[in-house]
Amino acid sequence: MIDRQSSPSETILASLPRRRRAEARFRIYGIAAIGIALAFLILLISAIGTQGIGAISQTEIALDVTLDESVLGLSDARDRETLSKANYRAVIRAALGDVFPEAVSARRDRRALMKLVSVGAGFELRNLVLEDPGLVGGTMRVWVPADDEVDMLMKGATARDSGRFSDKQLGWLDQLEEEGRIRSAFNWRFFTSGDSREPELAGILGAIAGSFFALITCLVLSFPLGVMTAIYLEEFAPRNRWTDLIEININNLAAVPSIVFGLLGLAIFLGFMGLTRSAPLVGGMVLALMTLPTVIIATRASLRAVPPSIREAAIGLGASRMQAMLHHTLPLAMPGIMTGTIIGMAQALGESAPLIMIGMVAFIVDMPQGLLDPASALPVQIYIWADSPERAFAEKTAAAIIVLLAFLIIMNLTAVILRRRFERRW
């Protein structure tokens, strides 16, 4: 017998303060960890937010344009073809000349003056005319985008004395401002157009469309394949060395760096199968390779989480294994499977390396219309802009990051809501 100094309950009582202190300490560690993580998150978001907020607005200049046939270089024909080929830049130049008559004489001045408005001004004017050919011959006031350097100046991102503008140009800008011809407007171009060499014209819709098509391909391939693989492995495959090997391989694939999948796609889909470069179809196929292990692992885990008693009940009633799976286990596992798939899709959305490998990094102005049109993708677009020398692309980069984050948050939120909604208690 052990000789006790005190009774058990006294021993327990004496140990209580120590246990309570340990618990309090642990809670403080936890809170501190969360606090640090949160601080970094806030830092990140506010840094990107303050940079990207500028991209929401765009400086515009008001011009009174006269759509003179002779300036446009139009004859009598008014068909689309001729209208779209007309010289709208000349109209812009003439309108600027009306505001600054003194600057028209010298060639250098004319050039410096034209630099204040975006090269896209002509295209926007053309689109207006194409929509309503009746405008030809008339006069009207249009707001055209200012050049990105002017935009930066107006937003205070470049100083007046930075040397980017001549004194004359600064004077003209002051005059425009005095006359109320300069405004800061909502930058709809950013959300409705594709990429451009000119920051003031560049938009992310092209990249969003590319990402969308790639993700659709990825989902269509990886969801059924992954779910079927998981069902087979969980329900039908015998447990032997081969299935063990397959299992290890699947878990390994989930950890393979994405660029390796990109190289694989480059070699097989482009090199061997000869599919189109830069196409969202190929991008989606590569992303599907990457997402497949995630879907398989999530599906197997959710299938295993369904209580075996449900399956036994079905089989005891005479359901085949297949029926027990399709009627009971799979529907009950579906919320988990969808959550896993959405998280896999979110990963795929943020992936750039494999897409760069298969050529989705090309400079593409046109909006992709289908799976085979050349396209880029959101993260790749961010990479391209971040790499561009023009200062104005910095805020576009940040804004694109915000858009990407927003999509990711929406997807992950959907996953959480799905899980909450369909979570079952047995």
Partner 1 sequence: MTKLTARNVNVFYGDAHALKQVNLDIRQNEVTALIGPSGCGKSTFLRCLNRMNDLIEACRVEGNICLDGEDIYDPAVDLVYLRARIGMVFQKPNPFPKSVYDNVAYGPKIHGLASSRAEMDDIVTSSLERAGLFEEVKDRLGAPATGLSGGQQQRLCIARAIAVCPEIILMDEPCSALDPIATARIEALIDELKQNFTIVIVTHSMQQAARVSQRTAFFHLGDLVEVGDTDTVFTKPVDPRTESYISGHIG
Q: Which of 14, 316, 406, 413 binds partner 1 (CB under 8 A)?
A: 316
Report the amino acid identity of residue 373: D
Q: Which residue has the tokens 């006269």?
A: 66
Span from 147-155, 201-209, 304-312, 373-381 in contact with partner 1 (CB under 8 A): 304-312
Phi, psi (degrees; rounded to nearest 5) at 62: -90, 130
Give per-residue burial for 366-399: e unless 16+ CB within 10 Å, then b.
ebbeebebbbbbbbbbbbbbeeeebebbbbbbbb
- For residues 329 and 306, the answer to whether their CB atoms sit within 8 Å is yes
Span from 278-286, 289-297, 309-317, 361-369 in contact with partner 1 (CB under 8 A): 309-317
Q: Which of 36, 45, 313, 413 binds partner 1 (CB under 8 A)?
A: 313
Span from 3-11, 45-53, 156-164, 316-324 in contact with partner 1 (CB under 8 A): 316-324
Of 422, 417, 254, the residue nearest 333 (C-alpha): 422
Please give the angle made by the CA atoms of 181, 184 and 189, to the nearest 5 degrees.
110
Site string for partner 1, 336-375 (x = CB under 8 A): ----------------------------------------
For the sheet containing 139-145, what is the strand order? 139-145, 57-66, 182-186
Q: Residue 303 CB, nearest distance to partner 1 (Å)? A: 15
Site string for partner 1, 226-265 (x = CB under 8 A): -------------x--------------------------
Q: Residue 411 CB, nearest distance to partner 1 (Å)? A: 27
Asked if residue 318 binds partner 1 (CB under 8 A), the reply is yes
Coil, strand or helix: which one is 145?
Answer: strand
Strand stretches in 216-364, DSSP E: none
The count of chain residues that interact with partner 1, using the rule CB under 8 A, is: 20
Q: Which of 89, 168, 181, 327 binds partner 1 (CB under 8 A)?
A: 327
Asked if residue 421 binds partner 1 (CB under 8 A), the reply is no
Alpha-carbon distances of 4 from 11, 14, 18, 197, rounded to whole Å: 10, 14, 21, 85
- For residues 295 and 341, the answer to whether their CB atoms sit within 8 Å is yes
Asked if residue 317 binds partner 1 (CB under 8 A), the reply is yes
Asked if residue 10 binds partner 1 (CB under 8 A), the reply is no
Q: Residue 305 CB, nearest distance to partner 1 (Å)? A: 13
Asked if residue 220 binds partner 1 (CB under 8 A), the reply is no
Radius of gyration of the chain (CA): 31
Binding residues for partner 1, rule: CB under 8 A, are 239, 307, 309-310, 312-320, 323, 327-328, 332, 424-426
